[in-house]
Structure 1
Amino acid sequence: MPNLIAAESISLALGTQQLLDRVSLGIGTGERIGVVGRNGGGKSTLLRVLAGRQPIDGGRLTRVGGLTSGMLSQDDDIDPAATVHHAVLGDRPEHVWAGDPRIRDVLSGLLGGIDFAAVGGGDAIVGPMSGGERRRIALARLLVDDPDLVLLDEPTNHLDVEGVQWLADHLVHRRARSDNAFITITHDRWFLDEVALATWEVVDGQIEQYDGGYAAYVLAKNERVRIAAADEDRRQNLLRKELAWLRRGPPARTSKPRFRIDAANELIKGEPEPRDEVSLVRFATTRLGKDVIDLVDASIQLGDKQILDKQTWRLAPGERTGIVGVNGSGKSTLLRAIEGSQPLSAGKRKQGRTVELAFLTQEVRELSKVEGWRVIDAITDVKSYIMLDGKETSASQLAKRLGFSGPRQQTRVESLSGGERRRLQFLRLLMTEPNVLLLDEPTNDLDIETLTSMEDVLDGWAGTLVVVSHDRYLLERMCDRQVALLGDGRIRDLTGGVEQYLQLRAEQEAQAAAAPDRASVAGRPAATSVTASGGAEPATSAYSPAQQREARKEMARIERSLAKLAEREARLHDDLVAAATDHARATELDAQLRALQDERADLEEQWIISGEIAE
Structure 2
Amino acid sequence: MAHLLGAEGLHLEFPTKVVFDGVSLGIDEGDRIGIVGRNGDGKSSLMAMLAGRLQPDSGRVTVRGGVRVGVLDQADTLDGTMTIAQAVVGDMPEYEWAGDANVRDVIAGLLSGLDWDGPIEGLSGGQRRRVALAALLTGDDDVLFLDEPTNHLDVEAIAWLAQHLKRRWSAASGGLLVVTHDRWFLDEICTKTWEVHDRIVEPFEGGYAAYILQRVERDRQSAVIEQRRKNLARKELAWLRRGAPARSTKPKFRIDAANELIADVPEIRDPVALQSLAVSRLGKDVVDLLDAGVTYGDREVLHPFEWRIAPGERTGILGVNGVGKSTLLGLVSGEVEPTTGRVKRGTTVQVATLTQRLDELEAHLDKPVRVVIAGLRTTYTFGSGSKSAELTPGQLLERMGFAGAQLSTPVKDLSGGQKRRLQLLMILLEQPNVLILDEPTNDLDTDMLAAMEDLLDTWPGTLLVVSHDRYFLERVTDQQYAILSGHLRHLPGGVDEYLRLRERERNGPEKSAALDTTSSKPKLAGAELRNAQKELAALERRMSKLESQIVAARTAMADHDQTDFAGLGAEMSRIGALESEREVAEARWFELSEVLE
Global fold match (TM > 0.5): yes
Matched, 1:197 2:191: yes
Counterpart-to-counterpart distance in 1, 2:187 and 2:170: 16
Matched letter for residue 121 of structure 2: G
Residue in structure 2 matching 1:449, options 447, 459, 467 = 447
Residues 229-286 of structure 1, C-alpha deviations (whole Å, 9 max, x = no match): 3799578520100011011124430342331111111101111000001110111000
Residue in structure 1 matching 2:515, options 517, 524, 538 = 524
Matched, 1:430 2:421: no
Counterpart-to-counterpart distance in 1, 2:229 and 2:502: 43
Counterpart-to-counterpart distance in 2, 1:557 and 1:418: 45
Secondary structure, in 3 states, of the residue corresponding to 1:145? Answer: coil
Q: TM-score, normalised by structure 2?
A: 0.89
2:583 is aligned to: 609
Counterpart-to-counterpart distance in 1, 2:65 and 2:253: 37
Q: 1:95 to 1:612 in 2, by over 3 A?
A: same
1:532 is aligned to: none
Q: 1:232 to 1:447 in 2, by over 3 A?
A: closer
Q: 1:226 to 1:372 in 2, by over 3 A?
A: same
Matched, 1:114 2:114: yes
CA displacement at 1:391 relative to structure 2: 1.5
Residue in structure 2 matching 1:503, options 496, 500, 505 = 500
Q: 1:286 to 1:84 in 2, by over 3 A?
A: same
Counterpart-to-counterpart distance in 2, 1:563 and 1:177: 22
Residues 438-460 of structure 1, C-alpha deviations (whole Å, 9 max, x = no match): 00011111111111100000111
Q: 1:213 to 1:279 in 2, by over 3 A?
A: same
1:361 is aligned to: 355
Counterpart-to-counterpart distance in 2, 1:600 and 1:273: 33
Q: 1:365 to 1:548 in 2, by over 3 A?
A: closer
2:592 is aligned to: none
The percentage of aligned residue pairs carrying the same residue is: 47
Q: 1:588 to 1:453 in 2, by over 3 A?
A: closer
Residues 290-331 of structure 1, C-alpha deviations (whole Å, 9 max, x = no match): 111122211112243322121122211000000000111011
Question: Would you say the 8 A contact 2:34–2:190 is kept in 1?
Answer: yes
Question: Would you say the 8 A contact 1:226–1:235 is kept in 2?
Answer: no
Which deviates the most, 23-32 or 64-73? 64-73
Residues 556-591 of structure 1, C-alpha deviations (whole Å, 9 max, x = no match): 77589689989x97xx99xxxxxxxxxxxx989999
Matched, 1:219 2:216: no
Q: 1:99 to 1:593 in 2, by over 3 A?
A: closer
Counterpart-to-counterpart distance in 1, 2:303 and 2:563: 65
1:35 is aligned to: 35
Secondary structure, in 3 states, of the residue corresponding to 2:302? Answer: strand
Counterpart mapping for 1:290-439 below 5 A: 290-389=284-383, 390-439=388-437
Q: 1:151 to 1:24 in 2, by over 3 A?
A: same
Residues 454-487 of structure 1, C-alpha deviations (whole Å, 9 max, x = no match): 000011110000000111111111001100012x
Matched letter for residue 142 of structure 2: D
1:580 is aligned to: none
Question: Would you say the 8 A contact 2:232–2:450 is kept in 1?
Answer: yes
1:128 is aligned to: 122
1:466 is aligned to: 464
1:482 is aligned to: 480
Structure 2, unmatched stretches of 5+, are: 590-597
Counterpart-to-counterpart distance in 2, 1:63 and 1:610: 47
1:583 is aligned to: none
Question: Would you say the 8 A contact 1:492–1:527 is kept in 2?
Answer: no
Matched letter for residue 609 of structure 1: E
Question: Would you say the 8 A contact 1:255–1:604 is kept in 2?
Answer: no
Question: Would you say the 8 A contact 1:82–1:126 is kept in 2?
Answer: yes
Matched letter for residue 48 of structure 1: A
Equivalences, count: 577
CA displacement at 1:545 relative to structure 2: 8.9
Residues 385-404 of structure 1, C-alpha deviations (whole Å, 9 max, x = no match): 11111221111111111111
Secondary structure, in 3 states, of the residue corresponding to 1:106? Answer: helix
2:594 is aligned to: none
Matched letter for residue 431 of structure 1: L
Q: 1:386 to 1:552 in 2, by over 3 A?
A: closer
Question: Would you say the 8 A contact 1:552–1:610 is kept in 2?
Answer: no
Secondary structure, in 3 states, of the residue corresponding to 1:237? Answer: helix
Q: 1:602 to 1:393 in 2, by over 3 A?
A: farther
Matched letter for residue 143 of structure 2: L
Matched letter for residue 462 of structure 2: T
Structure 1, unmatched stretches of 5+, are: 516-520, 530-536, 574-585
Secondary structure, in 3 states, of the residue corresponding to 2:107? Answer: helix
Q: 1:589 to 1:114 in 2, by over 3 A?
A: closer
Question: Would you say the 8 A contact 1:215–1:254 is kept in 2?
Answer: no
Secondary structure, in 3 states, of the residue corresponding to 2:6? Answer: strand
Q: 1:384 to 1:561 in 2, by over 3 A?
A: closer
Q: 1:525 to 1:35 in 2, by over 3 A?
A: same
Question: Would you say the 8 A contact 1:549–1:614 is kept in 2?
Answer: no
Counterpart mapping for 1:182-193 below 5 A: 182-193=176-187
1:62 is aligned to: 62
Q: 1:270 to 1:86 in 2, by over 3 A?
A: same
Residues 138-194 of structure 1, C-alpha deviations (whole Å, 9 max, x = no match): 000010123111111111111111100100000001345644211111111111111
Residue in structure 2 matching 1:440, options 435, 438, 445 = 438
Residues 390-445 of structure 1, C-alpha deviations (whole Å, 9 max, x = no match): 22111111111111111122211101111111111001001111111000011111
Secondary structure, in 3 states, of the residue corresponding to 1:300? Answer: strand
Counterpart mapping for 1:545-584 below 5 A: 555=543, 558=546
Residue in structure 1 matching 2:488, options 488, 491, 494 = 491
Question: Would you say the 8 A contact 1:31–1:180 is kept in 2?
Answer: yes
Counterpart-to-counterpart distance in 2, 1:588 and 1:155: 36
Question: Would you say the 8 A contact 1:251–1:608 is kept in 2?
Answer: no
Matched letter for residue 524 of structure 1: L
Which deviates the most, 597-606 or 225-234? 597-606
CA displacement at 1:40 relative to structure 2: 1.2
Counterpart-to-counterpart distance in 1, 2:432 and 2:545: 48
Counterpart-to-counterpart distance in 2, 1:343 and 1:377: 37
Question: Would you say the 8 A contact 1:336–1:342 is kept in 2?
Answer: yes
Counterpart-to-counterpart distance in 2, 1:494 and 1:184: 30
Q: 1:146 to 1:565 in 2, by over 3 A?
A: closer
Question: Would you say the 8 A contact 1:361–1:440 is kept in 2?
Answer: yes
Counterpart-to-counterpart distance in 2, 1:127 and 1:563: 50
Question: Would you say the 8 A contact 2:249–2:551 is kept in 1?
Answer: no
